[in-house]
Structure 1
């Protein structure tokens, strides 16, 4: 299996990756094909696919933020069971992120991720791919070391229609297991930067960020 970076929508592997995303994720979570042009060309956004027998069987997108010493996992997709794709992606992603942090003269502090909470939302569609079942994914991410940030979370819809998307937790995986909280301003600053590409923010999201900015820290809770 190859861990291959994609930097252009012209890459034939990107079409396969985008098709896989549409098979797995709800429509409001998938950015339209042409809108990927700039993100893929952005050197700070790292999109990799797992290629097995010339097919894209998994993919992950993440980015590193110099100065903050943190990363964000945008998404991880496992397209087929029985190939250890999740472990393959997680190991290669961490190896790559540590190298990027080192190139910036830093040490990775941790990584953010949005994680579906199937205990609050009755039904999610994930294309019938069992490894992508939200109960399975939540437990796997817990095993990896992700912890839930202690605040009610919503995010703006990627349709940029001003709708607030709920049913997720915002989580953080510290590289040091002894870390029990993170600065609230870091969380707020990160969310503002991360969603700066969307011009139409829901009021619920704006209120959430404003409340974070009034706090000192955010606790990390079991996932």
Structure 2
């Protein structure tokens, strides 16, 4: 299996990856095809696909913020079971992130992720791919060390229509598992940076971030 980075929209593997995203994610979670041009060319956004027999069987997008010394996992897609895709992507992503942090003279503080909460009635099937089942994914992320922020979390729809998307938790995986809180200012600054690309933010999202800016820390709870 090959870990291949996509850096431009003309890469023939990008169309395959985008199709895979449309098959497993709800529409409001998928950025429109042409809007990927700039993100793919951004050196800070790292998009990799798992390729087997010249076919995209998995993908992951993530980024490292040197000034915050945190990472964000945008998405991970496991296209089919029985190939070890999740472990393959995880190992390569972690090695890459630790290398990026080390190059900046730091030890990675931790990594954010938006995590579906199926216990709140979210019954999305993720294209029928069992490894993508939200119950399975949530438990896997818990095993890896992710915790959820004590926060009523929403995010702006990737349709850029100003709709607030619910049904997710904001998770954080501290490199030190004994850590049970995170700076609220860090979370707010990270969210503002992360969603800069979407100008049409819902009022509820702005209120959430302003609420974070008025706090000192956010508790990390079991996932």
TM-score class, shorter: over 0.9
The alpha carbon displacement at 1:178 in A equals 1.0
The alpha carbon displacement at 1:106 in A equals 1.3
Q: Which residue of 1 aligns with 2:193?
A: 193
Question: Normalising by the residue count of structure 1, what TM-score does the alignment of the two structures yield?
Answer: 0.99
Question: Normalising by the residue count of structure 2, what TM-score does the alignment of the two structures yield?
Answer: 0.99
Q: Which residue of 2 aligns with 1:209?
A: 209
Q: Which residue of 2 aligns with 1:148?
A: 148
The alpha carbon displacement at 1:125 in A equals 3.1
Residues 125-162 of structure 1, C-alpha deviation per residue, up to 9 Å, x if partnerless?
31010000000000001011100001100000000100
Q: Equivalent residue of 1:119, what SS? A: helix
The alpha carbon displacement at 1:67 in A equals 1.8
The alpha carbon displacement at 1:37 in A equals 0.3
Query: Equivalents in 1 of 2:66, 2:218: separation in Å?
Result: 21
* 8 A contact 1:50–1:57 mirrored in 2: yes
Q: Equivalent residue of 1:196, what SS? A: coil
Q: Map 1:101-116 to 2 at 5 A.
A: 101-116=101-116
The alpha carbon displacement at 1:107 in A equals 1.1
Query: Equivalents in 2 of 1:122, 1:43: separation in Å?
Result: 34
| Distance change >3 Å, CA 209–CA 57, structure 1 → 2 | same
Q: Equivalent residue of 2:39, what SS? A: helix
Query: Equivalents in 2 of 1:162, 1:186: separation in Å?
Result: 24
Matching of residue 83 in structure 1 with residue 114 in structure 2 = no
Q: Which residue of 2 aligns with 1:47?
A: 47
Matching of residue 130 in structure 1 with residue 130 in structure 2 = yes
The alpha carbon displacement at 1:121 in A equals 2.1
Q: Which residue of 1 aligns with 2:160?
A: 160
Query: Equivalents in 2 of 1:196, 1:38: separation in Å?
Result: 13
Residues 31-56 of structure 1, C-alpha deviation per residue, up to 9 Å, x if partnerless?
01110000000000000000011100
* 8 A contact 1:26–1:125 mirrored in 2: no
**Runs of at least 4 residues off by over 3 Å:** none
The alpha carbon displacement at 1:116 in A equals 0.2
The alpha carbon displacement at 1:105 in A equals 1.4
Task: Tell me the C-alpha RMSD between the 2 structures.
Answer: 0.6
